[in-house]
Chains A and B, each alone.
Chain A
Amino acid sequence: MNNQLYRLIVAHMKEIMREPAVLFWGIGFPILMAWGLGIAFSNKTEMNREIAVIQQTGTGSIQKSALSDVIEHYPGKQKGDYYLPLRNEKVGNINLTFHESTRDEAHIMLKKGTISLIVEVVQNKIYYYFDPANAEAQLLYQLVKGVVYNGPAYYSSHQEEIKPLTVSGTRYIDFLIPGLLAMGIMMSSSWGISYTIIERRSKKLLRRLVATPMKKSNLLFALITARFAMNAIEAVLLYIFAWWYFDIQIQGNPAALIVLFIAGNIAFAGISVLISSHTSNPEIGNGLINAVVTPMMVVSGIFFSYRHFPEWTIPFIQNLPLTLLADGVRSIFNEGAGMMQIWKESLILAVTGFVTFSIGLKIFKWY
């Protein structure tokens, strides 16, 4: 290696190593993320998957409990649900939980993302309802099918039929779009508000602005309003596309959706102001924004249900701003929710926004 190249590499390495914050966000933070998400959530001895079993009203007890006799020779029935642990040293242990439910209950669980597969036994036929586009549902179908074929002979001889879920509100895309809409608000606010403030502080533009008679609050209000307008346009365009291409429908109250959308924007605007309140180093800002948005993006049930995470984490996850927003939007889109169902989420989001904004403003550095 020539000396010039060597010196250049050494100089760049020193530059990186001598900036503790960059070092933390570049090396420390990814390790923390790996620990938090990878080790805490992936290094599990067991995986839990949930399936709805539709009861047949007015039928006999065997059919009423549908797959129960397939499952019952395995141990465990908890809180009215059938619990089936599948043990495999190489693949890992998977616990299947079968919820006895009505068709409506099963559909609500499906829309919430709690389950991705519905099983129904009608006389000598087993019906599997799932979205073929959902890889996880496909896998679950194969697992349950294996259980049935290894079960009592009269079930293994049953015919089966796959009923692809194509009804609006029950497909994976119906789960995904509201989540993407919520995530869009978070990402757009975080980068659009936080990063803009940090960049302007680093360019000394904030310092220049406060030397004028400009009202400081106007600057933040303008940033938030412009971002809100952009978020609204983005959300409308995403919905129009989803409606046109995937036939996504808003089944609930559009006014409730607007209220929740505003509350979500308030929450993430406040969080963004807090994130950007102090640093003038864009690299640190970048890390701070990622530290806030990335964990939420992973755990808040945007791409897959947060029910996959350990039970003890669920109450915490459910109260994250992105989870509150995504769950609320999803309930309006898919479950027909109205104001009464989303007021609590909206209130928590709005309060989160006002509290974080106030703290951010209190410690805000203008230059």
Chain B
Amino acid sequence: MEFIVEVQGVNKSFKDVHAVKGVDLAIKPGEFVGLLGPNGAGKTTLVEMIEGIQQPDEGVIKIAGKTWKTNGSELHKLIGLSLQETRFIDRLSVFETTQLFASFYKLGNSRVNEVIELVDLQEKKKSYVNNLSGGQRQRLALGIALLNKPAILMLDEPTTGLDPHARRGIWTILKNLKDEKNTSLILTTHYMDEAEYLCDRIIIMDQGTILADDSLENLLVNYDHAHNLDELFINMTGRHLYE
């Protein structure tokens, strides 16, 4: 299979807002892609369509060569997801929360323990979720996203609000995952160092369209030798990336 994700001519509107306008993109197995753009660029809508919780008005989205329409339950098993602000059930422990999600994939306790170890939460295994720090909570969310060894991992700003140490922790987990080459990543982030460290490609979106799609290095060079992502976006559109 050449591409794990294929998006062809996708359009999506909400009432008067044309959120995604004729987007095409393809992601190879094992490829790590950064998705960037200001608020309202259409990133979330695009990711939700790839995730299968929104249907495109026009165009085709294929995951592992299959569409969501008739293969929903099969495709859910290929996807791992971590949202920016998901809160789990407060009074469940780390182990119980992971065990609950594992049950959706028919996975046993050995995988649960494996994942808890992977995200380094062994010491917090019995702690209630509401007693975890921000970084620990994000690691738990990432662990849960990795439970099913997904072919596609979608992370929405996984390190926003975390201290540098906690961010490094998440990056290490993702870097190891990248080295295994079994998982593709779609990462939305505001941090250039994060995109640089983790992503093979950066896709920049604005007003529902893709403005650029290349390696970070090429993008910076091609757009007037920008020094960071914000500068790059200013050079492209005359506006700040994070307005």
Chain B nearest CB from A219 CB (Å) reads 10
Q: Which of A200, A208, A214, A366 sits near B83, CB closer than 8 Å? A: A208
Closest A-chain residue to B81, C-beta based?
Answer: A211
What are the residues of chain B within 8 A of A359 when measuring CB–CB? none
Contact B81 A213 (CB under 8 A): no
Contact A205 B88 (CB under 8 A): yes
Q: Which of B79, B85, B87, B88 sits near A211, CB closer than 8 Å? A: B79
Closest A-chain residue to B101, C-beta based?
Answer: A212
Q: Which of A203, A211, A366 sits near B76, CB closer than 8 Å? A: A211
B176 at the interface (CB under 8 A from A): no
Closest B-chain residue to A203, C-beta based?
Answer: B87
B168 at the interface (CB under 8 A from A): no
The B interface, classified by DSSP as helix, strand, loop or mixed, is: loop
Q: Which of A205-221 contact B (CB under 8 A)?
A: 205, 207-214
A204 at the interface (CB under 8 A from B): yes
Contact B87 A204 (CB under 8 A): yes
B89 at the interface (CB under 8 A from A): yes
Chain B nearest CB from A288 CB (Å) reads 22
A367 at the interface (CB under 8 A from B): yes
B53 at the interface (CB under 8 A from A): yes
Total residue contacts A-B, CB cutoff 8 A: 38
Contact A208 B86 (CB under 8 A): yes
Chain B nearest CB from A106 CB (Å) reads 51
1/0 contact string of B70-100 vs chain A (CB within 8 Å): 0001001101010101111100000000000
What are the residues of chain A within 8 A of B53 when measuring CB–CB? 207, 210-211, 366-367
From A200, A203, A204, A211, name the one whose CB has the most chain B CB atoms within 10 angstroms.
A211
Contact B101 A203 (CB under 8 A): no
Q: In the docked arrangement, what's the CA distance between A167 and B79, Å?
A: 65
Closest A-chain residue to B52, C-beta based?
Answer: A211
Closest A-chain residue to B84, C-beta based?
Answer: A204
Chain A nearest CB from B149 CB (Å) reads 14
Q: Which of A12-59 contact B (CB under 8 A)?
A: none
A interface, how many residues as a size bin? 10 to 19
Contact A211 B51 (CB under 8 A): yes
What are the residues of chain B within 8 A of A210 when measuring CB–CB? 53
Contact B73 A213 (CB under 8 A): yes
Q: Which of B95-121 contact A (CB under 8 A)?
A: 101, 104-105
Q: Which of A203, A213, A214 sits near B86, CB closer than 8 Å? A: A203
What are the residues of chain A within 8 A of B73 when measuring CB–CB? 213
Q: In the docked arrangement, what's the CA distance between A204 and B84, Å?
A: 10
B interface, how many residues as a size bin? 10 to 19
1/0 contact string of A186-208 vs chain B (CB within 8 Å): 00000000000000100111011
What are the residues of chain B within 8 A of A211 when measuring CB–CB? 51-53, 76, 79, 81
Q: In the docked arrangement, what's the CA distance between A204 and B52, Å?
A: 16
Contact B76 A212 (CB under 8 A): yes
What are the residues of chain A within 8 A of B76 when measuring CB–CB? 211-213
Contact A205 B104 (CB under 8 A): no
Contact B105 A212 (CB under 8 A): yes
Contact B83 A213 (CB under 8 A): no
Closest A-chain residue to B75, C-beta based?
Answer: A213
Q: In the docked arrangement, what's the CA distance between A203 and B130, Å?
A: 13
Q: In the docked arrangement, what's the CA distance between A320 and B76, Å?
A: 42
1/0 contact string of A210-242 vs chain B (CB within 8 Å): 111110000000000000000000000000000
Contact B51 A213 (CB under 8 A): no
What are the residues of chain A within 8 A of B101 when measuring CB–CB? 212
Contact B83 A207 (CB under 8 A): yes
Chain B nearest CB from A293 CB (Å) reads 24
Q: Which of B52, B77, B81, B105 sits near A208, CB closer than 8 Å? A: B81
What are the residues of chain B within 8 A of A209 when measuring CB–CB? 104
Q: In the docked arrangement, what's the CA distance between A131 and B122, Å?
A: 62
Query: What 13 new A-B contacts, CB under 8 Å, besides A211-B79, A214-B104?
Result: A203-B86, A204-B85, A204-B86, A204-B87, A205-B89, A207-B53, A209-B104, A211-B53, A211-B76, A212-B105, A213-B77, A213-B104, A213-B105
- A residues neighboring B (CB under 8 Å): 200, 203-205, 207-214, 366-367
23 interchain pairs (CB within 8 A)?
A: A203-B85, A203-B86, A203-B87, A204-B83, A204-B87, A205-B89, A207-B53, A207-B86, A208-B81, A208-B86, A209-B104, A211-B51, A211-B52, A211-B53, A211-B76, A211-B81, A212-B76, A212-B101, A212-B104, A212-B105, A213-B73, A213-B76, A367-B53
